[in-house]
Copies of this chain bind each other. A is one copy, B any other.
Amino acid sequence: MLDNAPASDFTFSIRARDGAARLGEIAMPRGKIRTPAFMPVGTAATVKAMRAEDVRALGADIVLSNTYHLMIAPGAERIAALGGLHKFMRWEHPILTDSGGFQVMSLAKLRKLTENGVTFQSHVDGSRHELTPERSMEIQGLLGSDIQMQFDECVRLPAPREDVERAMNLSLRWAERSRRAFGVQPGHAAFGIVQGGTDPLLRAQSAQALAQMDFHGLALGGLAVGEPQAEMLATIEATTPHLPDAKPRYLMGVGTPDDLLQSLARGIDMFDCVMPTRAGRHGMAFTRAGRMNLRNAKFADDPRPIDEAATSLAARTYSRAYLRHLVKGGEILGMMALTEINIGYYQDLMAGARAAIGQGRLVDYIAEVQEGWARGDA
């Protein structure tokens, strides 16, 4: 009975290990998060082209939403006055919010960075905003976010080592300020973010410093920004030994299905990425038989569903011919269906990985999945 009672605080339990991989569970008042977990991205308080209840039905325990976008529109104070982000977007399960740091780097105009924080212009309407560690945590609190990320500075890679080091050190100082601003919020969690580019020494230094702070989990930021997969994996391997074993590890903004498998095999517990949703809006399906570009003429007369064994109804029931017709015509239903198929595939992939870790056969599972992609669908 106690097992089904809502958790009163944030806990992370590791249930099984397979090599470096971990099967775990985060318990929080708003629900459990089975790890390794993929978090669909709901940038502007919506997982694009999906209803929240359908995201849930595909197996997602948690979604991510973006502080940068929500502070610009509709505004954090407005969402708070409306009862918080969960109520606003009709998703009652856990939500992780990023801190805005990455989007300030990638989207905003006229950035000005100081020790205190960043001032910038919105890419949407040119309005002026400021983000500091304190304001970022305040916004995430106003949203009612369950897992709140420290404010950090991301640098574009490749960058000179001294820039990466400077940003890493600034992010550590901001980590302390973020953690202090978060304060004590029972049932909510604050995560620190390891920076340091692809430099193993900087990463180790960042991880060791963050491990001393009282964060509930730790993330690897600043990866999957264009570097080769091997560099990303090497960076993970250089970092995880310096992370506390007992805390969840979140690889931000990653990635392809193979990125996920390779990373969870190296001890990563949580992921988020726009790839399945964005690809779904552009006619691409992720499947057990690899990627399918539904714009391809070869699907025009193909009566088969995408995958009869998939969780999502869309993958099991729409013919490829119909999906191609919808995609070619720019029909919204095509975006809806492919987004559902892709989120479903990512969740199925994580469910398979969790089962495999539990059975101590993750290496075989990854080999089987990769074989399926290579075999394709002839």
- Residues of chain A in range 309-349 having any CB-CB distance to chain B below 8 Å: 317-319, 321-322, 324-326, 328-329, 331-333, 335-336
Question: Nearest-CB distance from A316 to chain B (Å)?
Answer: 11
> Which single member of B44, B78, B300, B328 contacts A329 (CB below 8 Å)?
B44
* B-binding segment of A9-17, A47-55, A215-223, A366-374: A47-55
Q: List 23 interface pairs A-B (beta carbons < 8 Å), by A numbering.
A: A44-B331, A45-B322, A45-B325, A48-B331, A49-B332, A49-B333, A50-B333, A51-B336, A73-B328, A73-B329, A74-B300, A74-B324, A78-B301, A78-B321, A82-B301, A82-B303, A82-B322, A83-B303, A87-B319, A88-B319, A89-B322, A90-B322, A332-B335
Say yes or no: A318 contacts B48, CB within 8 Å. Answer: no
Q: Mark A273-314, 1 if CB is under 8 A from B, else 0.
A: 000000001000000000000000000110100000000000
Which B residues lie within 8 Å of A303 (CB)? 82-83
Of the residues B321, B325, B332, contact of A336 by C-beta under 8 Å: B332
How far is A50 from B326 in the complex, measured between Cα atoms in Å? 12
Question: At the interface, yes or no: A229 with Cβ under 8 Å from chain B?
Answer: no
Lowest 3 CB-CB distances: which A-B pairs, in order? A49-B332, A46-B333, A74-B325
- Chain B: which residue is nearest A52 at the CB level? B333
With the chains together, A44 CA to B57 CA distance in Å? 28
CA gap between A329 and B89 in the complex, in Å: 14
Contacting pair A321 B44 (CB below 8 A): no
Question: Roughly how many angstroms separate A89 CA and B337 CA in the complex, as a whole number?
Answer: 12
- Expressed in whole angstroms, the Cα–Cα distance for A132 and B213 within the complex equals 77
Asked whether any CB of chain B lies closer than 8 Å to the CB of A2, the reply is no
The size of the chain A interface, using a CB distance under 8 A, is 36
Which residues of A are interface residues toward B (Cβ below 8 A)?
44-46, 48-51, 73-74, 78, 81-83, 87-90, 281, 300-301, 303, 317-319, 321-322, 324-326, 328-329, 331-333, 335-336
Contacts of A336 in B (CB 8 A): 49, 51, 332, 336
Residues of B within 8 A of A46 (CB): 326, 331, 333
Q: How far is the CB of A163 from chain B (nearest CB, A)?
A: 33
Q: How far is the CB of A342 from chain B (nearest CB, A)?
A: 14
Q: Beyond A90-B318, A318-B90, is A333–B78 a contact (Cβ under 8 Å)?
A: no
B82, B322, B328, B333: the one within 8 Å of A319 (CB): B82
Given contacts A78-B301, A90-B318, A336-B336, 19 further A-B contacts (CB under 8 A): A44-B329, A44-B331, A46-B333, A49-B336, A73-B328, A74-B300, A74-B325, A78-B321, A81-B301, A82-B301, A82-B319, A82-B321, A87-B319, A88-B319, A90-B317, A281-B332, A332-B332, A332-B335, A332-B336
CB distance from A299 to the nearest CB of B (A): 11
A149 to chain B: closest CB distance in Å? 22
Distance between A67 CB and nearest chain B CB, rounded to angstroms: 15
Give the nearest-CB partner of A54 in chain B.
Answer: B51
B300 with A78: CB separation less than 8 A: yes
Q: Tell me, in angstroms, the Cα distance from A73 to B73 when the chains sit together.
A: 39
- Which residues does chain B contribute within 8 Å of A74, judged by CB atoms? 300, 321, 324-325, 328
A87 neighbours in B (Cβ, 8 Å): 319
A329 proximity list for chain B (CB < 8 A): 44, 73
With CB as the reference atom, state the residue of chain B lying closest to A321.
B82
A53 to chain B, nearest CB (A): 8
